[in-house]
A and B are shown apart, each in its own frame.
Chain A
Amino acid sequence: MKIILLLLLVVFIAISCEIQLDGNRFYTVQGKLLDTTNQPIKNHHLQVITSKGALFDPYERIILNNGYTNENGYFKIYYPGSSHHTYLDFEPEFYKYDSISSDGHVYGYHTEIELDDENYPENYIDLGNLKIKKEN
């Protein structure tokens, strides 16, 4: 009996933790991609993704929308709201860095940028200039 109750609890948690998308909330994220020499990166593919996954909570990942940088490296992506963690993803082999030292050492790696909406009450996110580098 206890096992059945435990199983039911696990199923309940899994269902209640499902990603819920919201068509009554839309967001914009924009920015400019630069390479290590401050040159704009054009036609670069970006994705806004929402995902979840924890103990007793099956992994789930949804691409909310795709975007490309233009000739000047600018991008602007619209996407619907999600109940779970949302982030901007570069192509898998790329990462953003926050600073670079004179000897070329890169600090503050990010393979994604968080877009969780509590930080953006106006539903508008301007990431400014983002330097990204291809993984060696």
Chain B
Amino acid sequence: MIKIFNFLFLLISLSGFSQLKDSITENKLELGISLKKDFYSGANFINKSLQPQLNYEIDMLYNLNKGYWVGFSYFRNWNSIKSTEYIGDINNATLTGLGIKGKKIVPIDQKWSFIPQLNIGSAIFKYSLRNTEGNQKNFTTDGVAIGIESAIRYNAQKDFYIELVGAYRHIFFQNMKAPSHASVNYYATELMSIGTRFSVDF
């Protein structure tokens, strides 16, 4: 959590610094951090087993001009255990994702913009349980996440932005092998998020 606040502080500081540069130069890079609340949905083993808590996402995007940006993003969330029935006797679970994203900034007026986005990448659920010695044993479920996202952006300072973000990700577990008689789906899950993104342009 301290790391996140340090990162936010860095963003705001960089925003102040970026105002010193020549205002004619077009910004080419954007650095952002999002804090979101996640929700799983669907009759799948992830939704039946895990209750997501805080999610943070860090991204860096490159300006392709005409309002189009592309780049990389990394996200991670923490989960509490809702039920162990379908997943095993775990005591901890996290979701980590790494992918590429693209977005289009559509100005509404001088201060406000609408931003539709697409993203695709890896998604890895990592679980822990304890062995007889009390040591944590980790194992993972690997997936591919395809997502859409939209945001309303407010230009708080010259190159510093605050966004209200809503996101949907469909995560496919393409390597999964599970019984066909299972009463829940082991091959996909859905992740929805809502939160705030802070970003600074350079």
Contact = CB atoms under 8 A, between A and B. Distances in A.
Interface string A15-39: 0000111111111100000000000
A98 B108 CA distance: 76
Interface in A47-105: 59-66, 78-80
Nearest to B184: A78
Nearest to B143: A24
A28 B181 contact: yes
A79 B178 contact: no
Interface residues of A, number: 24
Contact of B88 (A20, A78, A124): A78
A122 interface: yes
B176 A62 contact: no
A123 interface: yes
Q: Pick the 6 closest A-B CB pairs, nearest first.
A: A21-B139, A23-B141, A124-B179, A61-B132, A26-B178, A123-B179
A21 B176 contact: no
A134 B85 CA distance: 26
B38 to A, nearest CB: 19
Contacts of A62: 129-132, 137
